[in-house]
Every structure is written in structure tokens, then in C-alpha cells.
């Protein structure tokens, strides 16, 4: 079997799930004949037709709301946001209608909302967002954000089969930059389970999505230069959060750095920190540190964007500080 990119892995998951279950259908802007702004859905309409691959008007609230309605009736819709930044125009539907449907009205919403997310691509403030924190606070939604090609495939297949709404964020910087051979067979990555991306003894980095790769880079650097052994935990799922994996790594290394690309205040790192202090405070030998984006909208010009977003050198600096504490 040959290696495929993160983007191709997402596409493969869509093909396999549409083939497996006639209730699965895709809807979004320019996803059909054009194959999507990033070509994730290329070839899907040719194979499954206009009825199951729907080019919609520019109406995110309607895309998400209609998906919910169809999902109540037993369909399994997969919505594409052309850029995840536009999910904000469907925020009401997601947080008020979809997230409460099962709890309030016993109405199932087995649907997926996916889209290209994240920065490092000079996309400016509206083509670079990481919206996870805006939804982490909404009980009833699930959130996944894969960092590898095999997880991109396995998590999307699991998300489509999940009986609730899953927000599936895919990182556009990773789309064509990473490649991997897919596990054979019906490859499913469990939702709610983190992954140890690198084993280590001295310090743990808890992270997800694009910064998993920066964490690995930094881990390698401090191993070479400082002899430090760094563990990297890739959360993969943000909601529900894998407390067991977080606690296990804290108990192992007793020093924790949390890294994410999203802005700092009210971000996922704060939630992880709180959980660690609740579940494993006595295991800590140092304060928990965060490396995140600065609290500003993401600017477009390369020197500005690179200043705002977390970089490998920041992680190295933080690891050294933790190790020396």
C-alpha cells in the first residue's frame, strides 16, 4: 500500500463511508463539480451523483440546520464549511439547536461538520481560525482535530458513524505536507482517546493538531541538545477529553507543557490545566505552562503571523524552563 496525504486520507474516509452507508451524504459550497475549495471532495460527485453530493447556496446556517433535520430522519449528513472560519454563521444552529436536540427532545443528530482550519498559511484573520474553544463550552457537541493522516481518516469514519454531532476540524497546513500509509481494513480511530505521539520520561507536552508536529520537533531538539526525554500526547479528541491519558502522562513525567495554536485566554489549555489540578495535582513537580497564540486576531503578513503563532523555538524554551524548575 502506498502513502497518502492527510487531505487524501479525509477523501478516502468520505468515499468509504458513502460506499458503506447509503444514508451518508455530503453538503457544502462548491463541493460537487469543483471538488471543494481544497479539492477534498474531488471525485465524490462523479461517483455518487448530485443527490448525495450537494452544492449548496452560501448559507452555513441552512447547511447545518438542514443537516440536523435530515439526521433526525436517519440520514448521516457530512457538512463542509469552505473554511472553518465560516462556521460562526452557523453557531446558533450548532449550539442552540443541534447540541441540545438529544437532551431536550430525544432527537438524534448524527452529523458531521468539517472544514479546513488553522493558520501558518498567510490566510489572515478570516481564513486561519481555530474555532475549537468556541464550541468546547457547549455540552452536546463532540470535537475532534486530527494531527496525522491515519487519524484524519480514522476519526472521520468514526465521526460519521457516531450517533451525535461531531465537529471535525482538519488542519489546512497539514493537508499536503504530511503523508502516511493507511492501516489496512476498516480503519476507525476511537473518539475520546488520545495518542502518545512520542514516549518520554522528563516532561510531557499535551497538544493536538498542527502543534503536535512542532512539539515533536522541539522534543527532538532538546533530546539532542539537552538530553531531555519528552513525551508528546496528541489529544486527537477535545470533547470529550481523555482524562485518563492526561493523568497518566502527568504521573509519568510530573512536568507539563500544554501547546496549542489557538489563542490563549479561554482556550483548551486552560481546561486541561484545571483538570490536571483536580485529578493529579500532587503529581506535579512544576507549574503547568502554556505555549499558545497571543490574544489577537491572526494577522496576515508573515512576520506578524509568525510572531502571533506558537513556534518550535517557543516550545524548546518552555521545555528547558520546566526541566530546570
Partner 1 sequence: MARSGAAASSPASVTGDGARSDATSLTREQKLELYYFMRLTRSLEERLVNLYRQTKVVGGLFRSLGQEADAVGSAYALDRSKGDMLSPLIRNLGSMLVQGAKPNEIIKQYMAKGDSPTRGRELNIHYGDLERGFIGQISHLGDMVPVMAGVTLSFKMRRQNRVGLVYVGDGATSTGAFHEGINFAAVQRCPLVVIVENNGYAYSTPLRKQTAAKQLVDKAIGYGIAGEQADGNDVIATYEVTKRAVDRARSGGGVTLIELITYRRKGHAEHDNQSYVPAGEIDRWAKENDPIDRYAARLNDEGVGAPELAAIDARVQSEIDEATDEAEASPMPDPTDALVGLYADPPAVAPLWFRQGIKSAVEVHERPASWGTHDV
Q: Which residues are catalytic?
A: 127
Nearest-angstrom CA–CA distance, 60 and 258: 32
> CA-CA distances (angstroms) from residue 272 to 29, 84, 228?
35, 23, 23
Which stretch, 148-156, 167-175, 188-196, 218-226, contacts partner 1 (CB under 8 A)?
167-175
CB of 33 to partner 1, least distance (A): 5
Query: What residue has cell string 472521520?
Result: 156
Closer residue to ligand TPP, CB minimum distance, 89 or 95: 89
Interface residue with partner 1, options 120, 145, 168, 208 (CB under 8 A) = 120
Interface residue with partner 1, options 86, 97, 168, 169 (CB under 8 A) = 86
Closer residue to ligand TPP, CB minimum distance, 80 or 242: 80
Nearest partner of 155 among 235, 254, 35, 244, judged by Cα: 235
Closer residue to ligand TPP, CB minimum distance, 55 or 220: 55
- Grid cell at residue 197: 505521539
Closer residue to ligand TPP, CB minimum distance, 38 or 208: 38
Under rule CB under 8 A, residue 126 binds partner 1: yes
Number of residues that bind partner 1 (CB under 8 A): 54
- Grid cell at residue 174: 497539514
Interface residue with ligand TPP, options 6, 25, 48, 86 (CB under 6 A) = 86
80 within 8 A of 31, measured Cβ to Cβ? yes
Under rule CB under 8 A, residue 108 binds partner 1: no
Closer residue to ligand TPP, CB minimum distance, 29 or 151: 29
Question: What is the total residue count of the chain?
Answer: 325
Interface residue with ligand TPP, options 22, 58, 105, 274 (CB under 6 A) = 58
210 within 8 A of 172, measured Cβ to Cβ? no
Through-space distance between the first and last CA atoms of the chain, rounded to whole angstroms:
46
| CA 289 distance to own-chain centroid | 21
Under rule CB under 6 A, residue 82 binds ligand TPP: yes
CB of 127 to ligand TPP, least distance (A): 9
Tell me the β-bridge partners of 256.
204
Peptide bond into 53 cis (omega under 30): no
- Grid cell at residue 259: 501547546
Nearest partner of 291 among 206, 213, 185, 166, judged by Cα: 206
CB of 29 to ligand TPP, least distance (A): 5
Under rule CB under 8 A, residue 105 binds partner 1: no
| CA 200 distance to own-chain centroid | 23
Which stretch, 72-80, 105-113, 234-242, 298-306, contacts partner 1 (CB under 8 A)?
298-306
CB of 52 to partner 1, least distance (A): 16
Binding at 176: pick from partner 1, ligand TPP, none (beta carbon under 5-8 Å per type): partner 1
Query: Could you give the count of Cα atoms lying within 13 Å of 289 in the half-sphere of its Cβ?
Result: 20
Strands 289-293 and 3-5: unpaired
Task: Give the CA radius of gyration of the chain.
Answer: 19
- Grid cell at residue 309: 503563532
For binding to ligand TPP (CB under 6 A), which residues are involved? Answer: 29, 58, 60, 82, 86, 89
For binding to partner 1 (CB under 8 A), which residues are involved? Answer: 29-30, 33-34, 37-39, 55-59, 61, 82-83, 85-86, 88-89, 116, 120-127, 172-173, 175-176, 264, 289, 291-292, 294-297, 299-304, 306-308, 311, 313-314, 317-318
Amino acid at each position: 500500500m502506498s502513502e497518502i496525504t492527510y487531505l487524501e486520507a479525509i477523501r478516502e474516509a468520505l468515499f468509504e463511508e458513502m460506499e458503506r452507508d447509503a444514508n451518508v451524504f455530503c453538503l457544502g459550497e462548491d463541493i460537487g463539480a469543483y471538488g471543494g475549495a481544497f479539492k477534498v471532495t474531488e471525485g465524490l460527485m462523479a461517483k455518487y451523483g448530485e443527490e448525495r453530493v450537494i452544492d449548496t447556496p452560501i448559507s452555513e446556517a441552512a447547511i447545518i440546520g438542514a443537516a440536523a433535520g435530515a439526521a433526525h430522519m436517519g440520514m448521516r449528513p457530512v457538512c463542509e464549511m469552505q473554511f472553518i472560519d465560516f462556521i460562526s454563521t452557523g453557531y446558533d444552529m450548532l449550539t442552540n439547536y443541534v447540541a441540545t436536540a438529544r437532551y431536550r427532545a430525544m432527537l438524534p443528530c448524527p452529523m458531521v461538520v468539517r472544514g479546513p482550519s488553522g493558520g501558518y498559511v498567510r490566510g489572515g484573520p478570516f481564513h486561519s481560525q481555530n474555532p475549537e474553544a468556541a464550541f468546547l463550552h457547549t455540552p452536546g457537541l463532540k470535537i475532534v482535530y486530527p494531527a496525522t493522516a491515519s487519524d484524519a481518516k480514522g476519526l472521520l469514519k468514526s465521526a460519521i458513524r457516531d450517533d451525535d454531532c461531531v465537529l471535525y476540524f482538519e488542519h489546512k497546513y497539514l493537508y499536503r505536507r504530511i503523508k502516511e500509509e493507511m492501516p489496512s481494513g476498516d480503519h476507525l480511530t476511537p473518539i475520546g482517546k488520545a495518542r502518545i505521539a512520542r514516549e518520554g520520561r522528563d516532561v510531557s507536552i499535551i497538544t493536538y493538531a498542527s502543534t503536535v508536529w512542532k512539539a515533536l520537533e522541539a522534543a527532538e531538539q532538546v533530546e539532542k541538545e539537552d538530553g531531555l526525554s519528552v513525551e508528546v500526547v496528541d489529544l486527537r479528541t477535545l470533547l470529550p477529553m481523555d482524562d485518563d491519558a492526561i493523568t497518566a502522562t502527568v504521573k509519568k513525567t510530573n512536568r507539563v507543557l500544554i501547546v496549542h495554536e489557538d489563542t490563549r485566554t479561554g482556550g483548551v489549555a486552560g481546561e486541561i490545566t484545571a483538570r490536571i489540578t483536580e485529578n493529579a495535582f500532587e503529581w506535579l513537580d512544576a507549574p503547568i505552562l502554556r505555549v499558545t497564540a497571543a490574544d489577537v486576531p491572526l494577522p496576515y503578513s508573515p512576520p506578524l503571523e509568525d510572531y502571533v503563532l506558537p513556534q518550535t523555538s517557543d516550545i524548546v524554551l518552555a521545555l528547558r524552563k520546566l526541566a530546570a524548575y
